[in-house]
Amino acid sequence: MNSDIAIHKPAPIAVGKPLDKFNRTSGLKETLNILESGMPVLVSGFYSDGLLLLREIHHYLKNQIPHQSFKEQREYRSAYRKLSNLVLLEIKDQKLCIRKSPVIGWLERFYADNDDFLLTFPQVQGLNSAWQWYQNGISVPVLRNKLHTYYGVYFPTRFEHLLLFDNWLKRYSGPKKSAIDVGVGSGVLSMQMIKHGFQKVYGTDTNPNAIFGLTEFMGKTKLSRKLELDFAHLFGKWKMEVELIVFNPPWLPESHELDRIGEAIYYNECLFPDFFAEAYLRLLSDGKLLIIFSNLAQITNVTKSHPIEKELAENERFQLERCYTKKVKVASAKTNRDQHWRADEEVELWVLVKK
């Protein structure tokens, strides 16, 4: 692993001139007016005061913006992101400066050189939830051991696509000398391949936290000898031909400037053409190219174009061996979002071979 990669973390905001403060005794309407004007506010008092303000922002926006369709919900989340990121918290000596606040281990790890600074409340929420997942681990039905995912790394919260892949691996009878996992992320696909007998897996990712976190997670275990990582785009330094290439790309075309998590969810127009061109050079003549995808973009009318179908129709590199599909579990009744389209959503496992 490149020892020079820098961990991606929320950029500390310097403490400057005094800010308007908010606690549970503050006027909510006045505070919302301040936020709407583009000015930040600093949460004081209790951590729960910040949670109260974020709930009020949600309530305010629900009365302003329709959020029934998939497109409307994206617009709503964009508006919420804009306002909520003006809600700030102060951190001193790697601890939050308000009462009844959580202890977040990332603050000591990431900000040892920062004694007094600000972060947005959503950033702190993200750090807190990521610390809990990291500490407690994430149970995944296709793995024996829990994942302990590093901050800023996307991890699966739904498992239909992993079950599809696992079932395919159970039936796969071809050679298992080597495989490449493009966009290794939390490492779950690589671990599935190793569980099913692949001798060596080579993983890449453009997110430094994925590479750093997996390296830390593996330590000097047997897994570290079977999974080799490169901090790079697409195939990185791996130039060899392999029996299996696996790619779980983003499932939606991009619509705004992306952060690290966004890069795991939205793809740009160059991703798939570049991927297929490079995959063709690295797949053995009798190898398999597996792509995990979804019909989400089509059923939500984000786009009619399907990047895998487009590749098969327009180029002479690959042909379809089979496409497996699995219905997605209906959204929980507890979710705040209207996800009626989930009844029509299917995850897809595309198995391609060279022509």
Same domain, 187 and 90: no
What average pLDDT does this structure show over 325-331?
78
Contacts of 202 (CB under 8 A, 6+ apart): 178, 179, 180, 181, 227, 228, 229, 230, 238, 242
Name the pTM for this structure. 0.84
pLDDT band of residue 3 (cuts 50, 70, 90) is low
- pLDDT of 194 higher than 50: yes
Whether residue 149 is contained in a domain is answered as no
Between CA 184 and CA 230 the distance in angstroms is: 10
pLDDT band of residue 294 (cuts 50, 70, 90) is confident
Strand residues in 27-147 grouped as ranges (E): 41-43, 87-92, 95-96, 116-120
- pLDDT of 57 higher than 80: yes
- pLDDT of 341 higher than 60: no
Q: Are 126 and 81 in contact (CB under 8 A)?
A: no
Local structure of 291: helix, strand or coil: strand
Local structure of 289: helix, strand or coil: strand
pLDDT band of residue 116 (cuts 50, 70, 90) is very high
Q: H or E stretch including 135?
A: helix 121-136
Cα angle 215, 196, 323 (rounded to 5 degrees) comes to 105
Closest CA to 182 of 266, 263, 231, 248: 248
Between CA 96 and CA 119 the distance in angstroms is: 10
For position 332, what pLDDT does the model report?
Answer: 47
- pLDDT of 260 higher than 50: no
Q: Are 250 and 264 in contact (CB under 8 A)?
A: yes
Please identify, among 65, 100, 134, the residue that sits at the C-terminal boundary of a domain.
134
Same domain, 124 and 175: no
Cα angle 95, 98, 101 (rounded to 5 degrees) comes to 70
Q: In this structure, which amino acid lies at residue 249?
A: P
Same domain, 120 and 192: no
Please identify, among 134, 169, 186, the residue that sits at the C-terminal boundary of a domain.
134
Give CA separation, 250 vs 103, 146, 236, 267, 345, in Å.
Answer: 32, 23, 18, 5, 15
Same domain, 216 and 321: yes
Range of the domain at 323: 160-354
Same domain, 215 and 341: yes
Domain count, the chain: 2
Digit-coded pLDDT (tens) for 263-293: 446 667 889 999 999 999 999 999 999 999 9
Q: Is 173 left (phi over 0), alpha (psi -120 to 50) or beta?
A: alpha
Closest CA to 354 of 271, 309, 287: 287
Instruction: Indicate which CATH number applies to the domain containing 350.
Output: 3.40.50.150
Mean pLDDT of the chain: 89
pLDDT band of residue 30 (cuts 50, 70, 90) is very high
Same domain, 76 and 190: no
- pLDDT of 257 higher than 50: no
Per the structure block, which two tokens stand in for 132? 């809990």
Give CA separation, 169 vs 246, 288, 351, in Å.
Answer: 11, 12, 12
Whether residue 9 is contained in a domain is answered as no
Between CA 298 and CA 117 the distance in angstroms is: 43
- pLDDT of 75 higher than 60: yes
Cα angle 120, 125, 127 (rounded to 5 degrees) comes to 95
- pLDDT of 179 higher than 80: yes
Same domain, 96 and 180: no
Same domain, 334 and 206: yes
Question: Between β-strands 87-92 and 283-294, what pairing exists: parallel, antiparallel or unpaired?
Answer: unpaired
Whether residue 268 is contained in a domain is answered as yes
Same domain, 308 and 165: yes
Whether residue 147 is contained in a domain is answered as no
Q: Are 130 and 155 in contact (CB under 8 A)?
A: no
Whether residue 93 is contained in a domain is answered as yes
Q: H or E stretch including 140?
A: none
Per the structure block, which two tokens stand in for 77? 């989340």
For position 254, what pLDDT does the model report?
Answer: 65
Same domain, 247 and 191: yes
Per the structure block, which two tokens stand in for 96? 């939050």
Same domain, 113 and 242: no
Whether residue 42 is contained in a domain is answered as yes
Whether residue 13 is contained in a domain is answered as no
Q: In this structure, which amino acid lies at residue 16?
A: G
3-state secondary structure 79-90: HHHHHHCCEEEE
Same domain, 57 and 124: yes
Local structure of 333: helix, strand or coil: coil
Digit-coded pLDDT (tens) for 119-151: 999 999 999 999 999 999 999 999 998 999 999
Number of C-beta neighbours around residue 193 at 10 A? 27
Q: What is the CA radius of gyration of the chain?
A: 22
Whether residue 140 is contained in a domain is answered as no
Closest CA to 106 of 291, 96, 354, 345: 96
Please identify, among 134, 149, 169, the residue that sits at the C-terminal boundary of a domain.
134
